[in-house]
Chains A and B, each alone.
Chain A
Amino acid sequence: MSGVRVLVGTRKGAFVLTADGNRKNWEVSGPHFGGWEMYHVKGSPADPNRLYASQSSGWFGQVLQRSDDGGKTWRVAGDDRVPGGEDFTGKPVQSNKFVYEGVPGTHQWYDGTPHPWEFKRVWHLEPSLTDPDTVYAGVEDAALFRSTDGAATWHELSGLRGHGSGSAWQPGAGGLAVHTVLLDPTNPQRMFVAISAAGVFRTDDGAQTWKAANRGLRSQYIPDPNAEVGHCVHRIAMHRSRPQVLFMQKHWDVMRSDDGADSWTEVSGNLPTDFGFVIDVHAHEPNTVYVVPIKSDSEHYPPDGALRVYRSRTGGNEWEPLTNGLPQRDCYVNVLRDAMSIDALDPCGVYFGTTGGQVYGSSDSGDTWAPIVRDLPAVLSVEVQTLS
């Protein structure tokens, strides 16, 4: 029987939520890695038992965890010891070794001065669509790394940071990070990344070279609102069947591109506010898009204390509030950029997590909602796997 597995990263550990295809009765396991910040947990599309998790701590830095059994057991990637076994080889563990290629150089700091590139943490893990051992990591300070050995070792794809604008990139409030990595399912040479606060970049040659892809974005908070780079893009999303169409939640503005990010147009339409973090696309309707409007960049909570997902069935501009089962008063949580995901069942399920520790799910494409869990630590990321 089909089912789903929801992978939740929080400020103080990871949780795995599982249910059958009805998505009514949930089993919750965790916390895994209790006390650590779990920025992202994601499964391989090529092998649903292969999971990757970014574990980090202000004290002890980055750790990369891997599961080969769907999250039942975990081990540090590259640490091949069996607990209690006599198989110790002394082999170095390098899955948390992220070294920028060449002389790293500088990017801009908040005060406009040059600041050396320094690895801080992995924000986002994007497993290959075809190979369980290949996974991409979007990191802070902004760079893209790839592993081809199941996260045991990492190598920078330095063409991104080598884009001519790299020295001018500045951090957003949360840091300077590659937070979104989209792989084109029809073209293995093409991928998109989004960086706060630089914008969208696209490669068409397997990450050798990158092009800034921000034409049409307009940001009043930078000196040149139409600049080629410098935009605080919060998240981009695509539907597998139509990878030339992209949707974006920018710092302010919801945007759409119909030409593979060559150009963007605003589709905020009738949203109550076009600030927000998450954006995602329906599993079976490429023109159906979900966002969670947030009041403003200084008020990181929903307008009017009412938590509403907005859905557009027209690819933007015309949005309807989805409120059934969501708190409609006294709600002041945020939904962070990696904290929404959509399963592939029919009707598709939609899931999102909040900074208040709730994970909400809808098994009818957003028409009705119910909390799966209410009291986790602040949720940083939500990913769902559809299991057959």
Chain B
Amino acid sequence: MIRVALPAHLRTLARVDGEVALDVPSPTLGAALDALEAAYPVLQGTIRDHVTHRRRDFVRFFACEEDLSHEPPTAVLPPAVVNGTEPLLIVGAIAGG
């Protein structure tokens, strides 16, 4: 299981408390996001564009103290994320002063 930590506003939308755990068929960033949106369809369009799947500008992906935001969907997640030791962090970027 991959653990995903969502920002507060998306937890509210998805009606979850704390992290979510996902079965992900392959250990990539894109597969994790696909699994997240399949499990919580209400998040579709809030993290990535509905059609292009491009990451929204003020959303960031962090894991194991690395910034994965600019990685392609095929990027393999760090082993600690894949084995569930560390979460994939989806973060609302600091913006607005």
Contacts and interface: CB of A to CB of B under 8 A. Distances in A.
Interface of A: 35-36, 57-63, 76, 79, 81, 83, 90-94, 96-97, 99
Given A94-B50, A97-B50, A99-B50, A61 B56 contact: yes
A35 B12 CA distance: 11
Contacts of B47: 60
What DSSP secondary structure best describes chain B's contact surface? loop
B56 A59 contact: yes
> Which 6 residue pairs across A and B have the least CB separation, nearest first?
A60-B46, A93-B41, A59-B92, A59-B58, A96-B45, A97-B50
A3 B42 CA distance: 34
Contact of B10 (A58, A60, A93, A94): A60
Contact of B44 (A36, A59, A93): A93
A59 B9 contact: yes
Contacts, number: 55
B46 A58 contact: no
Interface in B73-97: 92-93, 95-96
Contacts of A90: 38, 41
Interface residues of B, number: 21
Nearest to B15: A83
B9 A57 contact: yes
A36 B9 contact: yes
Contacts of A91: 41
Contacts of B96: 58
B9 A61 contact: no
Contacts of B15: 81, 83
Contacts of B51: 97, 99
B1 interface: no
Nearest to B48: A61
